[in-house]
Amino acid sequence: MTTTIPSADDSGVSRAEYCAIACAEVFRGDGEVMASAFGTAPAVGARLARLTFAPDLVLTDGDAALVVGAPPLGAAPSSLVVESHMPYRKVFDVVWSGRRNLIMMASQIDRTGNQNISAIGDWARPKAQLVGVRGAPGNTVNHSTSYWVPNHSTRSFVDQVDVVSGVGYARAVAAGPAATRFHEIRHVVSNLGVFDFETPDKVMRIRSVHPGVTVGQIEEATGFDLVVPPDVPMTRLPTPEELELIRTVLDPGSLRDREIRA
């Protein structure tokens, strides 16, 4: 099935900026929770949300502190105003309390939202050792988690991930109520579109396509059948205020364009 999407985008908004807006939307409705964001578009998005529609979000300095406001990417540590200490030991307190909303990256993600950052191939002797499961198992069963995949392809969107690091819907259900109680995979943002699990059986659905991308292109780049609603919206345009914040305040050095080419 192919829905035609207008490919021309005469707004002057880059793909990276649509990705940043899509990442910001992950934090809509959040109150005083710690926003953690890995990758450039998520880092811009979390800051943008903080400066606009989610003013109570709590951001970190990327090290061991919570900071006031939304510092630009790459801000000098001396320019940051620290409001609280947040060493790793306290990060676990936050994770386990649920006061966190996170965008992680995924080397692989599958139809039910399982994520892999551990290893590609057979875990016992992997074809490629990745970083390790890190905090993904604990994050996903304790607080809302979303994913950022800057290279949408059949290698990253796979039928089944090789090592379940972050827990998807079916696996959480199988593990029982203690696993589902606080489990939420909110969105998956890729360089092609935005995805969610708002279907009766909690499998991945296209939520929006970025302008210039077709549903057909997304289906071709995905290693499993996506749920495609009858009318697929486009990822929303940033407002003029948001665009100004992205371009002149949060990412004046255009780091976003190094992650996602226009």
Partner 1 sequence: MSLDDLVGELRSGMTIGIGGWGSRRKPMAAVRAILRSGLDDLTVVSYGGPDVGLLCAVGKVAKVVFGFVTLDSIPTDPHFKAARQAGAVECMEIDEGMFYLGLLAASQRIPFLPTRAGLGSDVLRLNPSLRTVTSPYDDAEELVAMPALRLDAALVHVNRADRNGSGQILGPDPFFDEVFLGAADRRFVTTEQIVDTEQFASEGPVQTMCVSRMLTDGVVETPGGAHFTACVPDYSRDEEFQRAYVAAASDPGEWSAFTARYLEVSEADYQSAARGSGAAPGDPRGEPGSATAKGGGR
Is residue 255 at the binding interface for partner 1, with CB under 8 A as the rule?
no
Is residue 261 at the binding interface for partner 1, with CB under 8 A as the rule?
no
DSSP H or E run through 190: strand 185-190
Q: From residue 37 to residue 76, what is the string marking binding to partner 1 with x (rule CB under 8 A)?
A: --------------------------xxx-----------
DSSP H or E run through 136: helix 136-140
Residue 165 or residue 214: which is nearer to partner 1 going by CB? 165
Return the number of other C-beta atoms located less than 10 Å from residue 237's C-beta.
15
Q: From residue 129 to residue 148, what is the string marking binding to partner 1 with x (rule CB under 8 A)?
A: xxxxxxxxxx-xxx------
What does the alpha-carbon distance between residue 93 and residue 72 come to, in Å, rounded to a whole number?
A: 27
Q: What are the Cα distances from residue 122, in Å, to 2, 82, 127? A: 35, 44, 7
Residue 6 or residue 121: which is nearer to partner 1 going by CB? 121
Is residue 124 at the binding interface for partner 1, with CB under 8 A as the rule?
yes
Interface residues for partner 1 in 100-119 (CB under 8 A)? 118-119
* Minimal distance, residue 258 CB to partner 1, in Å: 16
Residue 54 or residue 67: which is nearer to partner 1 going by CB? 67
Nearest Cα residue to 37 out of 102, 92, 134, 96: 102
Is residue 96 at the binding interface for partner 1, with CB under 8 A as the rule?
yes
Q: What are the Cα distances from residue 11, in Å, to 14, 122, 260? A: 9, 46, 17
